[in-house]
Amino acid sequence: MAKNLLEKVWDAHTVRTLPTGQTQLFIGLHLVHEVTSPQAFDMLRTRDMTVAFPERTYATVDHIVPTLNQARPLVDELAEQMMVALERNCAQYNIPFSDLNTDTQGIVHVIGPELGLTQPGMTIACGDSHTSTHGAFGAVAFGIGTSQVRDVLASQCLAIDPLKVRRVIVNGALGLGVYAKDVVLEIIARLGVTGGVGYAYEYAGSAVDSMTMDERMTICNMSIEGGARVGYVNPDATTFEHLKGRPFAPSGAALDRALEWWSSMASDSDASYDDEVMLDGTTIEPKVTWGINPSQSVDIGGRIPKPADVVDAERDSLAEAVEFMGLKAGSLIRGTAINVAFIGSCTNSRLSDLREAAKVVHGHKVADSVRALVVPGSKSVRLAAEREGLDQVFMDAGFEWRGAGCSMCLAMNPDRLEGREICASSSNRNFKGRQGSPTGRTLLMSPAMVAAAAITGAVTDVREILTQT
């Protein structure tokens, strides 16, 4: 019988059906970071348990990492405590760890793919909701909480209910200045923040087929913002080419066998889905969020909705968002003044993101009113960007060039908004208080759009800069 990728991966990893009716699912790769793991390791110790498969576990440090002064002990005592806990836990249980002293440290969802740990047909779990990112490779990747981190450490398994699958088809070529970020913001705007609850999203169509792995990661990354815990793209030649030569990827004869298995895990052409939606990629515009959840976005030429523009059920949310954001219903989003520009996060901090932003920045200066920073997703990204001279392009323009980590996406390190600052951000969440100031405001957009906002001091259509001669 024809199956989709989720069904194939699910079947291959099912240990048994538990007495509760949930599936006991084997997890092929467990990624660990400092924020959601210390309590899980403590619970293991309390219960006199050990890590079942340390060789299928991999740790790094990202959320609390300062992007300026990384000297130990860290200035922030709580951050230092978390760092020490992870070091101790990795040492005690023999878990490989890309710590701050390695060249492989970075955001967990950037380094997994970079190292070739993330592979097609695999199940992956991590105590972070953006684990869906790894689905770009045709893996089934779950964000989990700390008790489930404990479960996976102890058993390499999750107790989990099956998911339905919605195929999200995006056809057609994207226009100039339109990026994967705009595509996923459009998907979330159409399907809503709850549209994906209970579903995995399979992204398909000619627009997705022609995307690079970095772009596919951006789309899968934000699946959770649409409510879908899992998002994936079927593995293809682009995926396989990207994996070749990475430290944990197979090589030689093993690679040939891997390619055969990876290909076999892709959805069958006659597979069935619980739902299917179609978008025309040629009509997608650069997008900007105006509200306090990622579905509240408009095209760059669009206006912030008025109460009359939305259905009754959304009117309260609209009023709350407009009030918090200090924006005016019915006004254009373009021209909204910004204070901070942030290029980074697991959504958009990879080399191609920095290249696209640098193209916009090149030859310009950051507006006097704007504080702008670039936080590469990993040390590898940072080093590769420096080899290309991207750091110089950003610094010449007045951007700060920082060390790798999650940084101002959620402000668990010293990088944060102050007071009512408004930030053009390439990250994934515009929730109230997300960027470290309870009253701070976030406008989500592509890295190129953030770059355009940084140099003009206001929300700008990046195409105006890209088409300047």
Partner 1 sequence: MNNSSSIDLTTGTAVPLRGNNIDTDRIIPARYLKAVTFDGLGDHVFEDDRASMPNHPFSNSSYCQASILLANQNFGSGSSREHAPQALKRWGIHICIAESFSDIFRGNSLSIGLPCFTAVHSDVEFLMGCVEESPRTLLTVSVSDLTLNISERSISLAMPAAMSAALLKGQWDATGILIDRFEQVRATGFSLPYMKGF
Residues 404-463 that bind partner 1 (CB under 8 A): 410-412, 429, 431-434, 436, 438-439
**Of residues 54, 70, 81, 175, which one binds partner 1 by CB under 8 A?**
81
- Minimum distance of partner 1 from residue 85's CB (angstroms): 5
**Of residues 4, 36, 105, 347, which one binds partner 1 by CB under 8 A?**
36
**Of residues 70, 92, 104, 155, which one binds partner 1 by CB under 8 A?**
155
Please give the size of the binding site for partner 1, defined by CB under 8 A.
84
Pairing of strands 14-17, 140-143: unpaired
Site membership for partner 1, residue 26 (CB under 8 A): yes
- Minimum distance of partner 1 from residue 47's CB (angstroms): 7
Site membership for partner 1, residue 8 (CB under 8 A): no
Residue carrying structure tokens 């954001």: 325
b/e per residue, 253-273, with b = 16+ CB within 10 A? eebeebbeebbebbbeeebeb
**Of residues 4, 60, 98, 119, which one binds partner 1 by CB under 8 A?**
119
Site membership for partner 1, residue 82 (CB under 8 A): yes
Residues written for the chain: 469
Stretch 248-267: interaction string toward partner 1, x if CB under 8 A: --x---xx-xx--x------
**Of residues 4, 7, 33, 38, which one binds partner 1 by CB under 8 A?**
38
Site membership for partner 1, residue 52 (CB under 8 A): yes
Contact present, 132 and 228 (Cβ < 8 Å): yes
Residue 42 exposed, middle or buried by CB count within 10 Å (0-12, 13-18, 19+) = middle
Q: List the one residue out of 438, 426, 383 whose CA is nearest residue 102.
A: 383
Site membership for partner 1, residue 190 (CB under 8 A): no
Specify the long-range contacts of residues 83-86, CB closer than 8 Å, at least 24 apart. Answer: 83/34, 85/34, 85/38, 85/41, 86/32, 86/33, 86/34, 86/37, 86/38, 86/59, 86/61
Site membership for partner 1, residue 91 (CB under 8 A): no
Q: List the one residue out of 58, 49, 191 whose CA is nearest residue 131.
A: 58
User: Among residues 174 and 224, whose Cβ is nearest to partner 1?
Assistant: 224
User: Among residues 119 and 347, whose Cβ is nearest to partner 1?
Assistant: 119
**Of residues 54, 96, 175, 198, which one binds partner 1 by CB under 8 A?**
198
**Of residues 35, 189, 346, 417, which one binds partner 1 by CB under 8 A?**
35
Site membership for partner 1, residue 146 (CB under 8 A): yes
Stretch 213-232: interaction string toward partner 1, x if CB under 8 A: -----------x--x-x---
399, β-bridge pairs: none
Choices 78-86, 93-101, 201-209, 342-350; region in contact with partner 1 by CB under 8 A: 78-86
Interaction with partner 1 in 328-367: which residues (CB under 8 A)? none
How many whole angstroms separate alpha carbon 287 and alpha carbon 186? 8
How many whole angstroms separate alpha carbon 377 and alpha carbon 110? 6
User: Among residues 227 and 403, whose Cβ is nearest to partner 1?
Assistant: 227
User: Among residues 19 and 308, whose Cβ is nearest to partner 1?
Assistant: 19
Choices 34-42, 266-274, 347-355, 370-378; region in contact with partner 1 by CB under 8 A: 34-42
In degrees rounded to 5, what are phi and psi of residue 160?
-150, 150
Site membership for partner 1, residue 21 (CB under 8 A): yes
Instruction: Output the CA angle 446-450-452, nearest 5 degrees.
Output: 115
- Minimum distance of partner 1 from residue 167's CB (angstroms): 19
- Minimum distance of partner 1 from residue 108's CB (angstroms): 12
